[in-house]
Structure 1
Amino acid sequence: MSVVPLQAEALRRVCDPSSLQFSDTSSLTPCDGPIGQERAIRSIKFAMSIHQDGYNIYMAGMPGLGKTSYAVDIARKYARLMPVPDDWCYVYNFEDPNCPVALNLPAGKGREYKKDIDAFIKVIEQEISRPLGGEDYELERSQILKDYRKKKDEYVNQLCTIAAQRGFRVKITTSGIYFLPIINGEPISEEDYNLLDEEVKMELSNLSEALQDETADIIRRIRDIEDEAESALKEWEKETALHAINTHLDTLKTKYKAFPGVMSHLENIRKDIRDNIGQLIVDDLGELQQNTLYQIMIKRNREDRPYERYRVNLIVDNSRLNGAPVIVDYNPNYYNLMGRCDFENEFGTMTTDFTMIKAGLFHQANGGFLILHANDVLSNPQSYEAIKRTLRTKKIVIENIKEQMGLISVSALKPEPIPVDVKIILIGSSKIYHMLYNYDSEFKNYFKIKAEFEDQILWNDENVLKIARFIGGYCKKEGLRHFDNTGVAEIINYCSRVVQDQEKLTARFSEIADILVESETWAKIEGCRLVSSKHVQKAVKEKRKRSSRYDEQLLESICDGTILIDTDGYVVGQINGLAVVDMGDYVFGKPSRITAATYMGKTGILDIEREVETGGVTHSKGVLILSGYIGKKYAQDVPLSLAASICFEQLYGGIEGDSASSTELFAILSSLSDLPVHQGIAVTGSVNQHGFIQPIGGATYKIEGFFEICKINGFTGKQGVIIPHQNIRNLVLSDEVVEAVRKGYFNIYPIKTVDQGMEILTGVPAGERLPDGSYPPGTVNDRVYRKLRYFAEVTAKYRNQ
């Protein structure tokens, strides 16, 4: 049953620089695609080949695995093989101005149509807003008015004849027709009229009224002729202005005859110009006939301004694409996703119209790919619902978010929805995926493909070469010095240490990139052309040193006796356990003294940490397992009468995990057997009810943490750490620890059972169970068994009394 300490060669796996078939990374071709992610790549490519609804992709995995980079790369690869989607525009709705019309045109045609309409508006401004006048204008105008003037003159002559017979003369002004009395052969002036007697004035007034009644029909006919002449003149002016406009419109209609939406828009413009041209024509004084400057200024809506409603709002311009769009965004709030209607302040009033509609991410990615991060989406609750609604309805609806929430909206615009065809790639953690999958019944309908990225890859020749190619590609991309084969080998060693596995390497290439940059910096400081292993080692060491303040303070507290940790001698019921402290950017091992006290009673094992609520659920479970082990092994023929307490001394924070359960058991067995435990040997590992030691995490950090204490206190050659034998592959120890083991200063014991651990700790054989159920005298198990029988006998004696 004796356990042999591990040899130095088993404590870490080292990459041999001579096994790398290159001198430095400058000769290597950059790696294409993620390394060691075959499962995820297969899932993504499968999803890319499916065009049915719902086959969007959720890329799951830890940050730093290259998910976003790969998503962009593969999306662009497929996008190049896809057609360029249409351009999208919004134009004025002449029937309902609050509902702008959406127009789609082939890529590039949208920009062209907008440019053509802008040019057409300039034509309108030149033809309609140009003051009317000149010799040709006056000649044509006189010709139109000639017939009306002749008819009018006939009626005016009749009116003058009747008026003269009644003693009046006719005066025609722009304000009306008047009858002036004739006295002494001349029309009387206002001053002379005021000097007349009242009786004469009354008589003249009665005669004027009688004349007006007599000539009312003639006056009406004269006014009708004037109105007809004015209408005819206006119609002629409209036709004159419209002639040039219609010529340009016909040219545009010929150019865009293949697009029904554009044809409808142009025809609506023609009709609107004809219906409203009277408000736009400028007279020969250069002023608007129907609108004063004040009336124009007080217009509150941009759509009421001349020509603005004819413009084209190009919201999606795909003229520069060579395939489908690939859009990546890190701020997918609601308006960024769905688009929005902007506003402007006009004389204290917020206004908007179709020209202020802005495209969202769905518009930009329509016909292609939209890449988002789950954390960003879920931090905007309205965004997540908008994504699902858009995928469900297959339409992009631009609306004010306040309308969705039932609040008053400042915008009355409801742009026509645009059909959408987009494949979404959502990137996030596995935790978020499972949360959405289990708590949102709709999620599985819209993200049917999960691509799981591994955070660890196999350590094999293929992956080592790919990592070397990644290093070379990253150095070329960032302009860094290249790495020689010793530098690459050291990076491989670092990748193994990150995951604490001799058969795996980390796939978190963002973390590798950080070490590359820092290693290259040290090479630059030393003036070296290439980055070698010493620069990588320096970078790793300095990185740990920058964050090791708490670790150093802990070591100081142990050295000055503030925290009690013994690394030599033997003590009953006392042992050194090991834990891992994770500071986020820095992880280290921390020893803790664990003590146990045993006595007669029925309370079983009392976990002090659980009683004061500093122990977590998993830790409490590990303690409860101890009772099962002791009962199964030592209480088959006598009742278990045991009371015990275990405690992590000087631990004032929380503790979680069951990796100390074997350590706690060793302390209890030491107390029961009265056998002292070697304080120079620390223990980590969990245990099951059958006494088998189970693997734990952080073995490397735990060993190195205790090693530092032993180094400070002085090596005795008997110090070391007991670990589960399954954790041998997880050892990626520092050069200093490996060298100490090689020289015999420090030992690492891999054990499979509790009995093996007790033999190492006490130096006493554990003892196998004999056929009669007892154990060989003097062994660990015999001493424990006898102590428990004694407890049971004394307890029974007192119970009988």
Structure 2
Amino acid sequence: MLAQAMAELMPVEKLEDVLAYPNKNSENQPLVRVVRTYPDYEYLMKNKHFLKYFSPKELPRIKKLGSNKDYQKLAKVLHNGLGRRIARFKKAEEEAKGIPAKFLILLLGLLLLFVVFFAEIEENVKWLIIAVALGIGFLYVISNATAGLGRRLMPTESTGPKLIVDNSTRHNAPFVDATGSRAGALLGDCKHDPLQSGGLGTPAHLRVEAGAIHQANKGVLFIDEIASLRLNWQQELLTAMQEKQYPITGQSEMSSGALVKTRPVPSDFVLVAAGNLPDMKQIHPALRSRIRGGGYEVYVEDSLDDTSENEEKLVRFIAQEIKKDGKIPHFNKEAVSEIIEEARKMSGRRKKFTLNLRELGGLVRAAGDVARDKGLKLVTKDEVREAKKIFKSIESQLGASIIERKREYQTIVTKGAEIGRVNGLAVLGDSRAGLVLPIVAEAAPSASKSEGHVIATGKLGVIAKEAVDNVSAIFKKYVGTGISRTDLHIQFLQTYEGVEGDSASISTAVAVISALSNIPVHQGVAMTGSLDVRGKVLPVGGVSSKIEAAAEAGIKKVLIPEANAKDVYVTKKTKVKLVKVQNIQDVLKHALKDCSEKKKLLKKIGG
């Protein structure tokens, strides 16, 4: 969207058409000619040989609009650019010089028919003439099916230009989306000619095809996921940016087009590229250096401030999505408010709106489809809420299925109290799908005589392993001596998908402390939060999704970091008691079952 907006702001008067001409001195090096797409009167006076391509009625209007610098109106008046006019003029001029091939074939066919039916010749000769006629007809079909064969059968070879970049009918600077393009589509190509031998081939200049970098000349070239381009393509792209021109050649080494290389073709474009942070290392360093040297590297935020101005922009966005779809009904005020509330929730941060407009637009369309199925003229908040259930991502649907399966097999326990068992909370993958993550800890005599070990299992990632190491400092400090001869086993139950991140730190700490001190943990309590080595609870992401997952699992109380309190966006139907915690003492106070050992432990921690 930003790239398209940039193209609309760029000047139209600089648009250029490009024509490829045959090179008499070197057949495989076609000549290139660049002309102004919409020339003003001053340009035509400097190049008077172009005047013949415009009618006497057009010249006064060109003079008037050119002097007023009204190039957009000039583009609408001329309609056909100079390059297209030249190509058509040359083609008509060439056709006028010789007898059309169709006429010759028709004349020859009539002559053969006359000989067969009216001339007194032997029967076998007649059949021979019929066979010859059929052969000529077959050759004519082949000549039309294979590019260039018909031209080469003519007495004169085609010398007319080929228009390879045509900006006719454009009223704005070109915007070219080259996302996913291969080398030929991006950098230009020369077609393979299977009939290049024996004088039957297509002339080199007629096989030249401009690439996206040439089509975007004087405009904007947009490439999404730029890291997906091969490094050698990125180098060629860099060359085109630096030189502002790039010759066209065949991109396949096995093709006859590889022998062809044109003179440099203009490629003066503004590159707008997009990618993801993990892919930055796959972008050529020289290309990044060029971008920083002549432009900007911009990190696009994933959220915006929750202000009345931005709220109005979201309302406008909803209206645009409805208009763009064209099939769904409009939204009433309550439905719009529900969408805006979902934008707050999707951001996962206090006083922020999400900038994931693609997903937000999907929710708008889903709500519209629900209302249309009901035959409603306006979408209400009920349809939006119903659409949220339909609109769930694969991860969310999978998360609900996993929770149901674990509850069925009693992997998730939500009642009673158990030693060393805690219901942690997590998000599934990169989505906003919450998941209840049971964690079990057990203390056993050390297998080593020298020291005890902390053994964590469950396909833990790097950050998750480091979080377990950090938590070790907590229970070593508060539980007391004797740990040096104890092995602590921590298991993240049935985490076949793997565990990453530190949001299960407080859950791990509670499970281990419970196992070491033999104090049961309330199973109706779930928790999420990170811990530093001094026992302070730190904020985490995806709090709202985790709370909803806990509610769906039947958990009644959820412990969250105090810093995340304003990040919570849950519906009123989510019947869960939220408890804000600041440190490990607060966590243990709400998670452990009341008993004398608990009082002693809290007293020891409180100092």
Q: Residues 114 and 314 of structure 1 are in contact (CA less than 8 Å); yes or no, is this contact kept in structure 2?
A: yes
1:475 to 322, 328, 340: 322
In the alignment, the residues of structure 2 paired with residue 509 and residue 782 of structure 1 have an alpha-carbon distance, to the nearest angstrom, of 50
Residue in 1 that maps onto 2:208: 357
Look up the SS of the partner of 2:428 in the other structure: strand
Q: 1:754 to 1:367 in 2, by over 3 A?
A: same
Check the 8 A contact 1:580/1:702 in 2, yes or no. yes
Match of 1:71 in 2: 3
AA at the equivalent of 1:111: R
1:195 is matched with none
Q: Are positions 1:684 and 2:514 aligned together?
A: no
For residue 371 of structure 1, what is the amino acid of its counterpart?
Answer: F
SS for the counterpart of 1:591 is strand
User: How far did 1:729 drift?
Assistant: 2.0
Check if 1:95 corresponds to 2:68: no
1:623 partnered with 2:471: no
> What's the counterpart of residue 187 of structure 2?
338
Aligned mate of 1:319, from 142, 161, 168: 168
Q: Secondary structure at the match of 1:451?
A: coil
- Mark the CA change 1:326 to 1:658 in structure 2 (over 3 Å): closer, same or farther: closer
1:670 is aligned with what amino acid? S
Q: Tell me the matched-pair count.
A: 512
Please report how far the alpha carbon of residue 110 of structure 1 lies from its aligned counterpart in structure 2 after TM superposition: 2.4
CA deviation map 1:51-93 (0-9, x unaligned): xxxxxxxxxxxxxxxxxx22112321x22x3423232212122
Question: Which secondary structure state, in structure 2, belongs to the residue aligned with residue 568 of structure 1?
Answer: coil
How many angstroms apart in 1 are the aligned matches of 2:373 and 2:34?
Answer: 58
Q: Which residue of 1 aligns with 2:537?
A: 693
Match in the other structure for 1:736:
573
Instruction: Give the direction of change, closer, same or farther, for the CA distance of 1:440–1:667 in structure 2 (3 Å limit).
Output: same
1:645 to 466, 488, 491: 488
Shift of 1:123: 4.6
Letter in 2 for 1:378: S
Shift in alpha-carbon separation, 1:766–1:315, aligned structure 2, 3 A: farther
- Post-superposition shift, 1:639? 8.4
Residue 329 of structure 1 deviates from its aligned partner by 3.1
Aligned pair 1:720/2:568, yes or no?
no
On the 8 A contact 1:342/1:352 being kept in 2, the answer is: no
Q: What are the residue-to-residue correspondences of 1:467-506 with 2, within 5 Å?
A: 467-479=314-326, 480-506=328-354
Question: Equivalents in 1 of 2:464, 2:297: separation in Å?
Answer: 34
- Secondary structure, in 3 states, of the residue corresponding to 1:662? helix
Match of 2:308 among 458, 461, 465: 461
* Sequence identity (%): 24
- 1:347-378 deviation line (CA, Å, top 9, x unaligned): 98783422222222222221222122234x72
Offset of residue 763 of structure 1: 5.6
> Residue 516 of structure 1: CA displacement?
1.1
Picking from 374, 395, 399, the partner of 2:249 is 399
Q: Which residue number corresponds to residue 703 of structure 1? A: 547
1:418 alignment partner, one of 221, 245, 265: 265
Retained in 2: the 8 A contact 1:578–1:684?
A: yes
Label 1:721 to 1:539 Cα distance change in 2 as closer, same or farther (>3 A): same
Inter-partner Cα distance in structure 1 for 2:490 and 2:570: 29
The residue identity in structure 1 corresponding to 2:454 is L
Report the AA paired with residue 75 of structure 1.
A
**Change over 3 Å in CA distance of 1:311–1:409 after alignment to 2:** closer
Give the AA of the match of 1:440: P
Maintained 8 Å contact 1:673/1:784: no
User: What does 1:540-559 correspond to in 2, within 5 Å?
Assistant: 540-544=388-392, 550-559=398-407
Q: 1:779 aligns with which of 594, 600, 603?
A: 600
> Cα gap change, 1:304/1:88 in structure 2, threshold over 3 Å: closer, same or farther?
farther
SS in structure 1 of the partner of residue 18 of structure 2: strand
Paired with 2:471 and 2:431, the residues of 1 have a C-alpha distance of 34
- Please state if 1:441 is matched with 2:253: no
Give the structure 2 partner of residue 790 of structure 1.
none
**Rg larger in 1 or in 2?**
1
Matched, 1:389 2:239: yes
Shift of 1:519: 0.8
Do the aligned residues in 1 keep the contact of 2:504 with 2:530 (CA within 8 Å)? yes
* 1:575 corresponds to which of 422, 434, 447: 422
State the Cα distance separating 1:624 from its structure 2 match: 1.2
Q: Deviations over 1:586-644 (max 9, x none)?
A: 713223142332657753442231xxx72222121111112323445566xx7863524
Partner of residue 132, structure 1? none
Q: CA offset at residue 751 of structure 1?
A: 0.6
1:587 to 433, 446, 449: 433
Report the counterpart of residue 275 of structure 2 in structure 1: 428
Displacement after TM superposition at 1:783 (Å): 6.8
Q: CA deviation at 1:449?
A: 0.9
- Asked whether 1:373 is paired with 2:224, we answer yes
RMSD over aligned Cα atoms: 3.5
| Greater relative contact order (CA < 8 Å, ≥ 6 in sequence) | 1
> Which AA in structure 2 matches 1:120?
E
CA distance in 2, matches of 1:411, 1:557: 60
Letter in 2 for 1:342: K
Which SS does the other structure have where 2:412 is aligned? Answer: coil
Quick check: 1:756 aligned with 2:607?
no
Cα distance in 2, alignment partners of residues 442 and 411 from structure 1: 26
1: distance between equivalents of 2:534 and 2:395?
Answer: 41
The answer for the alignment partner of 1:53 in structure 2 is none
Cα distance in 2 for residues equivalent to 1:547 and 1:696? 19
TM-score of the two chains, using structure 2 as the length reference: 0.75
How has the CA–CA distance of structure 1 residues 677 and 330 changed in structure 2, closer, same or farther, with 3 Å as cutoff?
closer
Q: Given the alignment of the two structures, is residue 109 of structure 1 paired with residue 99 of structure 2, yes or no?
A: no
Gaps of 5+ in 2: 38-80, 100-138
Give 1:384 deviation, angstroms: 2.3
Instruction: Tell me if structure 1 keeps the 8 A contact 2:474–2:509.
Output: no
CA distance in 2, matches of 1:347, 1:676: 85
Distance 1:307 1:517 in 2: 60
Report deviation, 1:753.
0.8
Query: How far apart are 1:652 and its partner, in Å?
Result: 5.1
In 2, Cα distance between the equivalents of 1:668 and 1:705? 24
Cα separation, partners in 2 of 1:301 and 1:418, compared to 1, 3 Å: farther
Question: 1:656: which partner in 2?
Answer: 500
Q: Distance in 2 between matches of 1:493 and 1:450?
A: 32
Please tell me the residue identity of whatever aligns with 2:561. Answer: P
Q: Which one-letter code corresponds to 2:565 in the other structure?
A: I
Cα separation, 1, equivalents of 2:397 and 2:34: 62
Q: Is the 8 A contact 2:19 2:165 kept in 1?
A: yes
Which residue is 1:39 aligned to?
none
The amino acid of 1:780's aligned partner reads L
By how many angstroms is 1:533 displaced? Answer: 0.6
Question: Distance between the aligned counterparts of 2:337 and 2:267, measured in 1?
Answer: 50
State the alpha-carbon separation in 2 of the partners of residues 332 and 704 from structure 1: 42
Contact 2:303 2:353 in 1 (8 A): yes
Q: Note the alpha carbon deviations across 1:297-346, whole angstroms, 9 max, x for none.
A: 9x999679533343122222233333532222334211112222224444
Aligned-residue offset at 1:115: 3.0
Contact kept in structure 1, 2:424 and 2:527, CA below 8 Å: yes
- Classify the secondary structure of the residue corresponding to 1:113: helix
Which residues of 2 match residues 113-124 of structure 1 at below 5 A?
113-124=86-97
